[in-house]
A and B are shown apart, each in its own frame.
Chain A
Amino acid sequence: MSRAVTHVPTPADAVATHLIHAGYARCEPAILQPASIFFDSGEDLRGQLYLTSDLSGAEYCLRPEYTIPVSRHYLASGEAGRIAAYSYCGPVFRYAAGQRCEFTQAGVESFGRRDLEAADAEILTLALDAAAIAHNLDLSVRIGDAGLFSGLLTALDLAPEWRRRIARGHSQGKPVAAILNASRNGAGRDHSGVLGMLEGADKQGARAFVEDLLSIAGIATVGGRTAGEIADRFMEQAALRSGVGVSAEKVRIIERFLRIEGEPDAASAQLRQLASEAGLDLTAPLDALDTRIGFIAALGFDVAALRFEASFTRDLDYYTGFVFEAHDRARPDQKPIVAGGRYDQLLQTLGADRAAPAVGASIWVDRLGEPADAEGQGA
């Protein structure tokens, strides 16, 4: 299709203008980005990249998203941790078989603000307002808190391995019981003799024993894991055989937590009740939740229209706190129109010398106002 000569303002223009007027300076990173900066986002995203290389052999891709390039722009232009607010609006490119692979994404990123809950509330309401300006869709909004779930696992005083396993399994959509059983049925059965001997042995001695076994076999560091790491996990298998893991009581608490959902204030009350009945100190993350809800209300938003789900955390590897997404109420099974959250670890993984507050949101402009039978949603 050829472009019209006179420029008719598009929904994307309206969204971009609204975000700039809200104080978020427009930041438009190059469409062509060094491919390697996205490789740490995992093979799933890597498989969706449009790659190319130049004569020097350097590998580039069409940008598949904005957050990493905008974060890099922020880090390159000054000290990490200073306050900055950016908006963007433009094409992103991701391969999906049989679907449109170029789509327009608008969004905001807020860096460095210490008033975390106020920043969370501002990002949510701004993104929803921007989407509403472009199109008058009836959106259903759900919110969650990755930090609250992490906080629960910490308060339950689980071993770090178990915290990670449960968090990961939850991100994959597995029920807690299934996560625990999978680990129990896993490795070790072929070494049951050795494992049996290690059961109940003191930890130091057992570890030394397994390390000795490996060194007798001529194994020091193989394939990037040390003999000590292998011994640790091998012994964990022994511990699992004798039933040491997560107690049934803790599993029940986690399961009860994950079932809590509904209108935010009511959900918060249920969470506090669970914490007090289970004797867990969740004061800090629960106060943060209430403060955030208060700020959202103060910005003139009907809090009762939001749905809080304790199990809604998005990707726990990436999101560290507040998360949200908004769907067209008429098409709830489609991908979200607006989505975002807090990702306080990202700047450090991108090379900042310390973690720094960061929260943002994306608006899929193409998904606003597409006919109901349209194909080609990405992300």
Chain B
Amino acid sequence: MSDTLVLAVPSKGRLQENAAAFFARAGLEFVQGRGARDYRGQLVGLKDVEIAFLSASDIVAQLASGHVHMGVTGEDLVRETLADADAKVALLTPLGFGGANVVVAAPRAWIDVRTMADLEDVAASFRARRGERMRVATKYINLTRRFFAKMHISDYRIVESSGATEGAPAAGQAELIVDITTTGATLAANALKILDDGVILRSQANLVASLSADWSEATRESARAILSRIAAEEEARTTREVSTALANPAPALIAEAETQFSARLRHRMADGRLTLNCPLDKVAPLADWLIAQGADHVSVAALDYVFSAANPLYEKLVARLAGRR
């Protein structure tokens, strides 16, 4: 029906800055139409793509309903908002920012409580003594229900909290909380501790695709173009190009480099010059090893992009779309 791919990105805050920076690194620059207040934009050089600036929670809703094709949002919101998230959206790749954990935190004074099993026990005797259920303040109602059910905790009651959840126990509004935390500092400042097995979800910003959007030929092509740039940037960021010259680079030697250092062959000249691509953390060991094999010099270069015929992100999207029914 429509040939325009709609890409939703957060409209404000740190998530927006990080998302803009992420796309810019991939050579995808936003142009916001008619000033900063316009909530629609374009990507430079990709004419059939429209950017929708939305709140992070609206992005989840629009992905689920299929009104946008792809979006940037936190996994916590996806899992909280959508009961059957994996049937409605595909989490294509984590983006390396917006990291935070959804955790169960109890008062530090509860020295007898370290684990969810302790909490289950305390919740039951709390109810037996008081005739009331222990209260859990949270905005993550569904994540809490699913996690507590998995941990066999039933003697509790959720108190909805939309902000400053960490203050609820001190204010007498709840006994414990389920909240998102990055460093744990806010929890500590409120005399709360995270239970040992109380991490419900390790969340970060993800590139998420809708499975119910109108995926026409044209929108798939736009998605392929965007995802190949993201993949190319990701490949460049996580690998280095390693060049050297060996007198006789036998195929067995190149196979050895791949098994030992995950290095992939890029070029091989008749005169023995050799270019490999290798994960960042394997660069130095690979260089040492090449010298041991007889190389005089090994030069390593960071690249801006590594485009490949194979595009794992796009292939993931196509596979999920094919299996969506």
Interface residues of A (CB under 8 A from B): 39-40, 42-44, 46-47, 97-98, 160-161, 164-165, 168, 172, 182-183, 185-191, 214, 217, 219, 222-225, 227, 229-230, 233-234, 236-237, 317, 349
List 8 A-B residue pairs with CB atoms under 8 Å apart, sorted by A's residue number: A40-B157, A42-B133, A43-B149, A46-B158, A47-B145, A217-B109, A225-B110, A234-B112
Contacts A43-B148, A43-B158, A182-B117; A233 near B112 (Cβ below 8 A) = yes
The B contact surface, by secondary structure, is mixed
- Interface size for B (C-beta < 8 A) is 42
Contacts A164-B125, A217-B109, A233-B122; A186 near B114 (Cβ below 8 A) = yes
Cα A40 to Cα B130 in complex, Å, equals 13
A188 touches B126 (CB 8 A): no
Whole-angstrom distance between the Cβ of A209 and the nearest chain B Cβ: 13
Q: In the complex, what residues of A have CB within 8 A of residue B111's CB?
A: 191, 214, 230, 234
A223 touches B109 (CB 8 A): yes
Contact of B114 among A183, A187, A214, A225 (CB under 8 A): A187
Contact of B109 among A188, A214, A349 (CB under 8 A): A214
A172 touches B128 (CB 8 A): no
Whole-angstrom distance between the Cβ of B110 and the nearest chain A Cβ: 6
Contacts A217-B109, A224-B134; A168 near B175 (Cβ below 8 A) = no
Q: Is B74 an interface residue (CB 8 A)?
A: no
Cα A222 to Cα B172 in complex, Å, equals 9
Cα A155 to Cα B157 in complex, Å, equals 32
Q: In the complex, what residues of B have CB within 8 A of residue A349's CB?
A: 131
Whole-angstrom distance between the Cβ of A50 and the nearest chain B Cβ: 14
Residues 129-157 of B, flagged 1 when their CB comes within 8 A of A and 0 if not, give 10101110000001011001100101111
A183 touches B112 (CB 8 A): no
Cross-chain pair count, CB within 8 angstroms: 96
Q: Is B61 an interface residue (CB 8 A)?
A: no
| Smallest Cβ-Cβ distance to A224: which chain B residue | B175
Cα A222 to Cα B191 in complex, Å, equals 10
Cα A320 to Cα B129 in complex, Å, equals 18
Cα A349 to Cα B127 in complex, Å, equals 12
8 A Cβ contacts from B65-100 to A? 83-84
Contacts A188-B112, A225-B110; A40 near B133 (Cβ below 8 A) = yes
| Smallest Cβ-Cβ distance to A183: which chain B residue | B121
